[in-house]
Amino acid sequence: MAVNLDSTWALRAERSLMPLPVHSVPSLALMSFKTLIAAEEGFIRLAENVAANVRNPPDIVSFAQAIEEDVGRFREIFRETLQDPTLANLNTPLLRAAREGHINGVIMALEKGADVNLADAYEWAALMHAAIGDHKETAALLIEKGADVNLADEYEETALMNAAERDYIEMAALLIESGADVNLADAYEWTALIHAARGGHIKMIELLIESGADVNSADIYGDTALMHAAERGYRDIEEMLRRNS
């Protein structure tokens, strides 16, 4: 399932005190991946040339290209570029595979020694990437391999909060079943319930309440999920939260 970047940016931009994270905007490198369709001969050379222009190592560009193509090419590039065990420590292949929902890529990166809980510069680990992309099977595999379901990013948001914000019911259920704390809060003290209430996601709210979410938890301004819902005119959610207060 593709991530709706417009929606993601809007959700982030709405937080006036919180700068829009650079990683939410597609880099030139990522936008260039889909333009790297080349004949088999000269494939690596083309990848290296583009890599030089976007300041990404050629191994990473080649790896990302391989994910976008067939598994056979993926395996070929993976073997060629990850002979050096230090490359596995970069963890970029795992994060890229998780973001794309590429099960084989996740398996191969982990087999090469990638740390399942190592995060990028913005503290997004592989599970966070999978959750935001709504890649349930990938997330389940990462959890099975030891991913911490309560890891938070630079804004203290967890995978569950991101799932709640986007109304990914099955993803949220998986995370909760796997031990995600429904009452953790981010830098604004917004819990998963508050994220869901702000988005008007009534089914998500039902799931969170059934899973033990604190309906009366307030953010740094003293606003509860009910207040956020009322402010946005979600009367059905407001009534549900009142009944469970």
Question: What are the boundaries of each domain within the chain?
Answer: 151-244
Q: Quote the CA–CA distance of 92 and 210 in Å, as a whole number.
A: 37
Two tokens at 156?
């203290």
Segments of 88-200 assigned E as strands: none
Write down the pTM of the prediction: 0.67
Contact 220, 186 (CB under 8 A): no
Three-state secondary structure call for residue 227: helix
The residue written with tokens 């949220």 in the block is 172
CATH topology of domain 151-244: 1.25.40
Dihedral, CA of residue 97, residue 19, residue 200 and residue 139, to nearest 10: 20
Two tokens at 152?
């938070």
Q: Quote the CA–CA distance of 64 and 80 in Å, as a whole number.
A: 13
Q: Quote the CA–CA distance of 219 and 131 in Å, as a whole number.
A: 24
Three-state secondary structure call for residue 12: helix
List the pLDDT tens digit at each of the 245 positions of the chain: 445 544 544 554 455 444 444 333 333 333 333 333 333 334 444 444 433 333 444 455 555 555 555 555 555 545 554 444 444 444 478 998 999 999 999 999 999 889 999 998 889 999 999 999 999 999 999 999 999 999 999 999 999 999 999 999 999 999 999 999 999 999 999 999 999 999 999 999 999 999 999 999 999 999 999 999 999 999 999 999 999 98
